[in-house]
Amino acid sequence: MANHRILIIGVGSIGERHLRCFKATTRAELCLCEPNEQLAKTVAERYGATRRYASLDAALGDRPRAFDTAVICAPSHLHVPAAKQLVEQGVNVFIEKPLSTSLDGIEELIQLIERKRVTAAVACTYRSHPAVRAMKQAIAEGRFGRPVQVVSTWGQHFPKYRPAYRRIYYTSRQTGGGAIQDVLTHAVNAGEFLVGPIDKVMADAAHQVLEGVEVEDTVHVICRHAGGVMGCYSLNQHQAPNENTITVICEKGTARFDLNNARWSSMTEPGGEWKTEMQFSLERDDIFIHQANLFMDVLEGKAAPACTVAEGLQTLRVNLTLLEIAFNPKWCPVGPK
Ligand SMILES: NC(=O)c1ccc[n+]([C@@H]2O[C@H](COP(=O)([O-])OP(=O)(O)OC[C@H]3O[C@@H](n4cnc5c(N)ncnc54)[C@H](O)[C@@H]3O)[C@@H](O)[C@H]2O)c1
């Protein structure tokens, strides 16, 4: 029974997916806002969206208004201005990751959200993943003792999965491009979800392989999460194997989320066997359907946001610090002693 009325803003890669996945929940009626007219028409027809707008002004000006909530899927530097415009008019917002590419306007947005009493959250996908949520709960319950280390290893051949990467926001850091803001932010945000916010970082990043762009495609981060938990995040966007694991090592056991092997598992016996805690579907839409359902539960007051705007801001602060330090790290030469 559709009772949410949702505007998808930007129906490129992720916007079309959100449109499809919100529709799949059967809990929402959908309309869209997209300046590329041909794309807007094609996507609207594909999913039977009856209203489409060429701009946010046109969407907000239409009466009677066709939506109460907007999912902001335009490139990242546009997220905060769009969110402020929507919240000002009392519209709930679900904002794609990363929250933004700078801190501009975010404090005002947070105050506006409180003043207007709307629901707002950041679409940090992994926080809605049932396996990540179950693993977080097991860690929080103390099943493995105190967390002491996070090791996150991500790699994928970006051109295979996003052949258009040279023609989209990815090419420039100003529009949210580069490995740090585009992909590493998912890992960092998930790590913060699992063990708490990152307090301090060191990093190295470079453009190593991807043709046709100059932004970084390879990143190494070491960090400390709250309470001194040591962290280590590696990522590249050019290797052949798909790898995506986040391992949380605790005093009495180890927990691992492994996206490509579709499970989270644990090991408590030294030299023992991995115990599969949860096996999940590898169908990519499923996680977005979970995310859509969870967000609509939040709208209905039945759940807390998986990632609040304040939590999105914390991860943004990590991104911005990494961008400041990762291209000129303080190396210690290994000379003759
Ligand atoms: N959660 C995830 O897994 C995930 C995956 C991909 C992208 N993203 C995020 O989603 C956002 C969009 O990424 P994408 O890959 O879909 O990009 P994309 O380039 O495929 O699509 C962006 C769309 O926004 C439209 N757009 C541009 N300006 C607009 C405006 N003012 N109003 C409305 N629409 C506008 C463009 O025409 C385009 O169709 C980025 O912030 C990105 O970081 C998240």
Residue ranges of alpha helices (H) inside the chain are 13-24, 37-47, 56-61, 79-88, 106-116, 130-140, 158-161, 179, 185-195, 284-299, 309-325
pLDDT of residue 282: 84
- Which string of DSSP letters, residue by residue, matches 102-129? SSTTHHHHHHHHHHHT--EEEE-GGGG-
Q: How long is the chain?
A: 337
What does the pLDDT read at residue 6? 98
Mutate to test the pocket of ligand 1, among 31, 96, 168, 295 (most ligand atoms within 8 A of CB): 96
Q: Tell me which residue has its CA closest to atom 3 in ligand 1.
A: 125
Q: Which of 96, 101, 154 is nearest to 309 (CA)?
A: 96
Q: Take atom 6 of ligand 1 and give the residue whose Cα is closest.
A: 14
User: Measured between alpha carbons, how far is 133 from 306 in angstroms, rounded to an integer?
Assistant: 9
Contact (CB, 8 A) for 193 and 140: no
For ligand 1, whether the C-beta of 39 sits within 6 Å is yes
Nearest CA to ligand 1 atom 29: 74
Ligand 1 atom closest to residue 9's alpha carbon, by position in its atom list: 33
32 CA from centroid of ligand 1 (Å):
13
Nearest CA to ligand 1 atom 36: 10
Determine whether the shortest distance from the Cβ of 309 to ligand 1 is under 6 A. Answer: no
CA 152 – ligand 1 centroid, Å? 25
Among protein residues, the one whose CA lies closest to atom 25 of ligand 1: 10
Structural domains present in the chain: 4-126+289-308 (3.40.50.720), 130-282+317-325 (3.30.360.10)
CB atoms within 10 A of CB 15: 22
pLDDT at residue 1 in the model: 64
Whether 73 lines ligand 1, by a CB cut-off of 6 Å, is yes
- The DSSP bridge pattern shows strands 92-96 and 198-206 to be unpaired
CB 81 less than 6 A from any atom of ligand 1: no
pLDDT tens track, the chain, 337 positions = 679 999 999 999 999 999 999 999 999 999 999 999 999 999 999 999 989 999 999 999 999 999 999 999 999 999 999 999 999 999 999 999 999 999 999 999 999 999 999 999 999 999 999 999 999 999 999 999 999 999 999 999 999 999 999 999 999 999 999 999 999 999 999 999 999 999 999 999 999 999 999 999 999 999 999 999 999 999 999 999 999 999 999 999 999 999 999 999 999 999 999 999 999 988 999 999 999 999 999 999 999 999 999 999 999 999 999 999 999 999 999 999 7
Residue to probe by mutation, ligand 1, list 57, 73, 165, most atoms within 8 Å of CB: 73
Q: What is the pLDDT of residue 50?
A: 86
Helix (H) and strand (E) counts in the chain: 11, 14
d(CA 48, CA 138): 41
Q: Is the CB of 14 under 6 A from ligand 1?
A: yes
Q: If you write DSSP's letter for every residue of 238-262 in order, what string do you get?
A: --SS-EEEEEEEETTEEEEEETTTT
